[in-house]
Structure 1
Amino acid sequence: MKKSSICLLLASMFAASVQATSQLDELSKELEIMSSIMQTSYKQNRDEKGISVRSLQSTYLAGQGVVFRIQTSGGSNRFRFSFNGLDHVIPVPPIEPQIEVRGNAVVIENEGHVIEYESIGDELEQVRELFIGSNDKLSELRDQQRELNWEAREVERRNRDNEFEKRHAEGERRAELEKETQELQKELAKIKERQREVEKYAQQLEEEQREANSKRVAAAQEQSKKFLAEFEHNSADILCKYGSGLKSLPAGEHITLVLDNYAGGKGRSKNQDRIYVFDYKDVQSCVSGKLDPQKLLGKANTYEF
């Protein structure tokens, strides 16, 4: 190969490299602006008492497109159902969730899934207060049950001692033991009655907790559905209004939104991301008015992984 041809080839490769670097620099600036627009829009449309977008990070994958990873206040990376759990939207599970309250947060845990809600609506707050109150009462009842069990064992021990002594006692002493035995039996009957009352009350409180748990799950599910619908609407609207700002994104690539750890694992041991993949050409069509936001959303490849 002639020296002049080699020089031309090297010059062409260098020019292509410089052009690619310049395009990436421009895309980086555009991506930063787009991220700021999205964060502002999500913040303006958030529900103060419900799930909201906590943070947004973006990156570019060559040959694939830009990716926005979004974390929410009601899902993110702390899934563990301890009353709490949803498939964002997890259906009401067959095995009732456990309950855990951490300050102002509610944690839902069921079948290995855990979701922590840092801010909760009025209905969830009422359920939370009900749970705390009934849980304190159940703790007191457990203490009472332990004390009554101890008293019952003590009375039964004294009764056994009396029965043993009666086998060898005679006359006046035997009569005294008979009287003591009757009194012990009356005392034991009272203790047993108190145990039944405590047990009945405990069962009532547990039933109240089960009902509260059902309300809690239903309210959390409703919050999740509401957030998801608003998030999808807002996201499609943002892309239709401002998607043209990513003009340095190569043709044929994509814009991907990832709701981090938002979806339940559906029987798996971990939670999943909810992912929306938009073809950039569809976003451009929406920007130009050929598609509306709802149709753009319908054309997205949406899945959980």
Structure 2
Amino acid sequence: METVAVDYRSQEVEFYYIYKALAHPEHNGYVQPFTQEERLLHVAEAKRTLGSEIEWLCDNMKNELKQALGGAPNSQFVIDPKGKIVHASGWSDPVELRSFLANLVGEVTPATTVADLDLKQLPPPQLAGQGFAVRPQMPGQMRALLVKPLRSHEQYYVKLRAEVDSRFMQEGLGWMYIGFHLDPLLRVHWNNLAPPLKFRISTPEGITVALAEASARKIEVESDADPREFLLGIEWDSNVLPAASLPASSLVLEVEYYPCHEKGWCKFIKQSYTIKLQPDRNAGSVRGRGRAVGGQFRNR
């Protein structure tokens, strides 16, 4: 894409990347931002790591631009000066785009190659070691739930991700994944000299979790950046909570943890979330996380 942009700027074609909700959170450690300011941190990070000269646009927290453009994670569009979409593809393809622009405004020769560019790509941040915490295996296909951070005087240095398996949604008995992920762009790591992270979940009538309160396992190093993850049994009694009321029902999760910043401070933080029992279509899908190969699972 960078080579196409270099060639066709001379033909008065403007190029933009659009930052939308992450399609695959946890890739390279990045997690879904909670605020517009945090999304702009992601834009700055993309510029830093990719070394791109293409300008960025940032969607708002309601994801209105993403929805207006069809919701695909990696689409491409050509829009004429009157605002009309003259080319659209569900998956970005620089070869296809170059061919279309050649027919639209004329071919540019010789074509710039990647070797001609001086892209200074940089690695993602890693503020502490990883691989110390045991990650739970997933019991099958999981679906992300709507998570809302409640008002806090502190920034959400740790981002909550909540998921349930398809069996819970279909049969009312299944598993809930609760993951607390450090935000690498906020430059923090876990302080393992302090008490480990702990949480407590309050459920509405008709919903039961097998482990409503728990602490993370102690990690035997001073600091690390692994997520703190739990797999909880969850049950829904439709006789108490009708199916029509399930999407509006919320769990409340309170979490306590001790982060340390690269500038040297460490502090105690207590924050709360609501978790709605409905899918979050903008949460993306996690790749590479453990999958079940048979047998039983335990709450962790």
Q: TM-score, normalised by structure 2?
A: 0.21
Pick the structure with greater CA Rg.
1
Which structure dedicates a bigger proportion of its chain to helix? 1
Which structure dedicates a bigger proportion of its chain to strand? 2
